[in-house]
Structure 1
């Protein structure tokens, strides 16, 4: 369900129906793909027409038998009013829509999406509304077998079998149409449309029009409680220590302030897209952060901007450069010599525009094109604000700022090998510049005048290399000037942190464990303590003598799988980095991490809480012991990816939904250690996306990639329930299916059917949390059976939100980012007061739970 995206994973859309021209120069493969999609749409329309024709023919004998008894040859109305599925509509005289004032209120939202099955298959005959005159019984036709997935009458899948969800770019959405949805005022069914395809949902008995439900904003709200992870894989100079002792870094759209001893986080949440760079003012109180550009769900450009804010109050002091930057903000630096009066910004445009801003007024003082190559770092000379240095791919530039002009001089390498990248640089106590490059060398650049004399104010100056020091194997990602005058360097390939004397003599070194990755940045903590950010998104704390331990850890690639423990504040995540992680939501820490054999896409806890099932990209599933992390069982059903694994409420069955269109059912015995194939649910015409068990553990409700809603009798032999009307009053142990009567109100106008990635009902059945494709988490009231239902909307993720789950006590909600690799823990505020009892998730005494 992931669309094409702009920088940092923001969704990208375009004009409705826009398609690339199929000219001679177009690649053959895209042309063929578009033709296949058009053919699939035609096949779907034909299959739908044949199905509807069959339903009309099914009712024809009944109508013909009634003709002789009709007055004046007229057919009685109660037997003629049938919907397109052959179901009885409203009794005579009742309107199809409700009129409000002078306008007609549409009974269902109009949604658009990719072509697929309507979800109305297999409902040949439903009971008439209560009170309707009985019609003579018609001969019961033989129940047809569901069409094979590849048969001509089967509704097409959204993508070829086995195609990974993320490899199918989503077409641009368009504004909702004016097509009116049908609603039976007697409470039989409602319809919603995804790109014109009808999806029928049956109203539970005892509910009147609109199901007797009125959806309002829930009294509960969400507050961001904890952000797991750190963005070290592709950003630099992103870890600093504030005057308060808090660490400041960023993840997705959130700037995190972490107080390590208190295990407390605060969050700056003003940014609308991923934060890319960070600078701390010389007073160590004010912070500047710059973000990437992106687009919203309507395709409107979100302009990159820099915010200057107060770390004590989290209040924004200044907004810098709205409308001035392109693509994003790449590097930031406060001036030092004049107490942080100026801010230098380099954007991510082709020319990497460099500008200097007045921090107090927010005005631009000077701007110039810097280079067509990537710029990785920028800094003011700490002794002279008129001197600025930038470095990056194959260059280091020494800039002089005078009035409204910025002039540069390129660093000359002379006899020294020119590196591919100059990753970082610092100023030492003598005013010299030390650079770290991709060759593993530290170069010392000395400032001299044109005649080689001592530099002076206003004299033409330049820099030349005075010393080369071999420091690391591979790139040097960071340099840090310590309070005692020594220099620290961090290596990429060798993962070493090395301490150097002011003259660059080797003093001491330490190597990071391989699982944490390379050194990305280094900051000084209290005393001899060092803080290290790594390329595998971890923050470490320690010294060169004692080594380093993690204080923050996270995923390093897209995250999809999520499961919450049935009885305590623990949850599991897995993703494309092939890591299965167990998180302690009470301690806000990683409990353990296990390497999987392949990408993990879904997970679920056994009701007893001691076992966990994990589904992989290869079609293989695993069952692991939570305590020992040992493999207890496993299997493989086909060779296509698994979308969902789910234990039944009593733990006696395991259901596995696959991209091969089947749901595999296993019986579970011996305390969850033995798994025997029980059956297979066959009938979906596209890949399985979501499924839920009934509370009695006998039935399953499932959704597929072509928007079908099907029901299965598992206890009766994994049979497809063709009369879906009979399942309208069934109670479900969980509700994660994104299509169904109880949740159809969560779908926005103009949706293309892939805009909602995940949905979860709370355990007390009052809330529905939704993860959408536009970086947002929504909180709805449950049931949400009203068109255009209102919701509380929360940002923070910088990419599509892939999954959401409530913890066992509904006190927290967990959400996953996709490409931003983030894991957010939200606190649920408001609502009924829970009983006062100490639980595994109860905050420790003396700590304000809302202060986290």
Structure 2
């Protein structure tokens, strides 16, 4: 869609826009039709957004990404945001300099600077893989490294330690898993000292030795390598020697260093190996410490060692000679296997899991979650009609009710189906969850009890929406139909009124009229159709709806939302939009990870907006909380939920 392609017919008082060459006629409301000017530029809203809270953590496929800072905050990442979270004070700060998924982080020895590395992104200019070094107190960017020099994504980062953090080592997940070492303080873009092929196989960790200058250890699939940077700045490696081939693991999964400088490695066979300092030979071999992989080894300040298992979910403590102390803990299975362990305050440990949870606790007293997240693509989002709560649901089959004020999960439920859409009844007592296989579930919002399960077709239920009086329910499916139900018995009973047939593609969005008599809907081929809800018949004369009041504006293709489509949009770019309850703002989420805020109505083809980064994949849903104080957005593949304060 290009602004110059829009035409306004003054006689018929409609705007014609084109989406992928398809003309769409949108009738202007009478009050604006007479003086409507196509060339007028709509100003952005006076309100802006501030990232208020980020729900989620990336533990599923990342490691060594959880640390305690001297500020008392734990630092980690999800999507394109680095989160600094003070658990005791219940505050979060956010570093939002990245444009796409962060995959790794490293803390400088001064505990003030942090390096984070991102993947190659959508935007050819902004989305190149690179490393950002930033100040954890001021959140100011200090240096941007590797822009245009890195190939795919940075999977591991490590500041040098023996020299106070002069150098930074990075592993690029390109074809050759290149390892590079940077003098990061030389200019604001750093200076690459050396680079070489690390391994033909996956590399999962790279660490500078804490005591030996110019020494780096890397590990991954079928290998552990010991690197030396010579005086000329060239990297040389020695491969770790596994003396007996039957002991060679499929993966060396993690690294740590004892206080005397020996290297510890954990592997996929559940073994811990001690490597002699300064060599590539084994000095000690401890078999079957865990069932399945050892995902993390943490050497505590007092010298004892904690190992963590991914499959068995156990934490085991050893003394400095790797003799078991008898202290251990078990992480509940539903929270996931352990991905990373780091030292917290006092005797506390901080644990990140494969199910994107962060736990805090101790071996003696056990662990409790402080961050919960989803683990698969997120689509379903619904705001409670009268409380500061919202519901999310995803392809991980988990539905979670969140409290936006306490930033906590009220309840979590495995519904056994992949969730695609959700809505609260107007009184907030009932939740409808639309699923991927054509089913929709009626649930009690307090007890989580499922009252009934219905099926309409066998394709995803894309959208579910109650009429404002709660007496009707519309269900938009990927099978091109809208199913309408009559609601009775405290929103527990549903009788089908009929099926709206006429769309030639899947239903994407729908809205109810304020008088509860009509539905408007968008489809995958950019149609805007209108329906009589009582008869389920299409009303072809769309001009009669020019002055209709609508309970919501979730449809992305309407006269009031022409301006949300950027220049050159192909119709799939904007996934979601929502109008505020006071009808002053409209928020959108797009395929490029951006949340945008427009003044409502956005009925000029050229409508200016405020743009916000944080998500790293397509933003699948946006919604306003009941009092318009905040916006909630969900990222699809980044599995994150973001809460934005309207200021």
**Short-chain TM bin:** over 0.9
Distance between the aligned counterparts of 2:526 and 2:360, measured in 1? 49
Distance between the aligned counterparts of 1:309 and 1:110, measured in 2? 38
Work out whether 1:427 is the aligned partner of 2:257.
yes
Work out whether 1:235 is the aligned partner of 2:65.
no
Superposed CA deviations along residues 10-45 of structure 1, whole A, max 9, x for unmatched, are xxxxxxxxxxxxxxxxxxxxxxxxxxxxxxxxxxxx
Alpha carbons 1:269, 1:796 under 8 Å: kept: yes
Distance between the aligned counterparts of 2:317 and 2:302, measured in 1? 11
Q: 2:211: which partner in 1?
A: 383
Distance between the aligned counterparts of 1:288 and 1:498, measured in 2? 30
Q: 1:641: which partner in 2?
A: 460
Match of 1:206, SS state, is helix
Match of 2:543, SS state, is helix
Distance between the aligned counterparts of 2:215 and 2:328, measured in 1? 33
Alpha carbons 1:561, 1:601 under 8 Å: kept: yes
Of the candidates 522, 541, 547, which is equivalent to residue 703 of structure 1?
522
Work out whether 1:658 is the aligned partner of 2:484.
no
Superposed CA deviations along residues 378-424 of structure 1, whole A, max 9, x for unmatched, are 11111112211111111111111112211111111012611011011
Superposed CA deviations along residues 472-506 of structure 1, whole A, max 9, x for unmatched, are 00001110001121101110110111111112222
Alpha carbons 1:204, 1:211 under 8 Å: kept: no
- Structure 1: gaps of 5 or more residues: 1-108, 112-177, 449-460, 830-852
Distance between the aligned counterparts of 2:388 and 2:98, measured in 1? 29
Distance 1:495-1:406 versus aligned 2 partners, 3 A rule? same
Of the candidates 89, 98, 111, which is equivalent to residue 271 of structure 1?
98
Q: How many angstroms does 1:788 deviate by?
A: 2.5
Work out whether 1:436 is the aligned partner of 2:241.
no
Matches within 5 A, 1:306-345: 306-345=131-170
Q: 1:483: which partner in 2?
A: 301
Of the candidates 408, 415, 419, which is equivalent to residue 237 of structure 2?
408
**Bigger mean CA offset, 537-546 vs 352-361:** 352-361
Q: How many angstroms does 1:796 deviate by?
A: 1.0
Distance between the aligned counterparts of 1:472 and 1:385, measured in 2? 32
Q: 1:393: which partner in 2?
A: 221
Alpha carbons 1:186, 1:209 under 8 Å: kept: no
Instruction: Normalising by structure 2, report the TM-score.
Output: 0.96
Matches within 5 A, 1:7-18: none
Of the candidates 164, 185, 200, which is equivalent to residue 10 of structure 2?
185
Alpha carbons 1:611, 1:624 under 8 Å: kept: yes
Alpha carbons 1:657, 1:664 under 8 Å: kept: yes
Alpha carbons 2:41, 2:608 under 8 Å: kept: no
Q: 1:745: which partner in 2?
A: 563
Distance between the aligned counterparts of 1:701 and 1:614, measured in 2? 21
Alpha carbons 1:447, 1:464 under 8 Å: kept: no
Matches within 5 A, 1:81-92: none
Distance between the aligned counterparts of 1:294 and 1:641, measured in 2? 28
- Structure 2: gaps of 5 or more residues: none
Matches within 5 A, 1:409-558: 409-415=238-244, 417-447=247-277, 461-507=279-325, 508-558=327-377
**Bigger mean CA offset, 182-191 vs 192-201:** 182-191
Alpha carbons 1:413, 1:465 under 8 Å: kept: no
Alpha carbons 2:339, 2:352 under 8 Å: kept: yes
Structure of greater Rg: 1
Work out whether 1:814 is the aligned partner of 2:642.
no
Q: How many angstroms does 1:570 deviate by?
A: 0.4
Alpha carbons 1:185, 1:209 under 8 Å: kept: no
Distance between the aligned counterparts of 1:340 and 1:211, measured in 2? 59
Instruction: Normalising by structure 1, report the TM-score.
Output: 0.74
**Bigger mean CA offset, 401-410 vs 259-268:** 401-410
Superposed CA deviations along residues 629-658 of structure 1, whole A, max 9, x for unmatched, are 111233111212111110110111111111
Alpha carbons 2:134, 2:143 under 8 Å: kept: yes
Alpha carbons 1:238, 1:278 under 8 Å: kept: yes
Alpha carbons 2:306, 2:317 under 8 Å: kept: yes
Distance between the aligned counterparts of 2:125 and 2:368, measured in 1? 44
Q: How many angstroms does 1:585 deviate by?
A: 0.4
Query: Which one has a larger percent helix, Structure 1 or Structure 2?
Result: 1
Q: 2:511: which partner in 1?
A: 692
RMSD: 1.5
Match of 1:384, SS state, is coil
Distance between the aligned counterparts of 1:221 and 1:705, measured in 2? 31
Match of 1:726, SS state, is helix
Distance between the aligned counterparts of 1:742 and 1:616, measured in 2? 30
Query: Which one has a larger percent strand, Structure 1 or Structure 2?
Result: 2
Distance between the aligned counterparts of 2:453 and 2:276, measured in 1? 63
Q: How many angstroms does 1:548 deviate by?
A: 1.0
Q: How many angstroms does 1:360 deviate by?
A: 2.2
Matches within 5 A, 1:553-632: 553-632=372-451
Superposed CA deviations along residues 583-605 of structure 1, whole A, max 9, x for unmatched, are 11010111111111211100000
Work out whether 1:110 is the aligned partner of 2:2.
yes
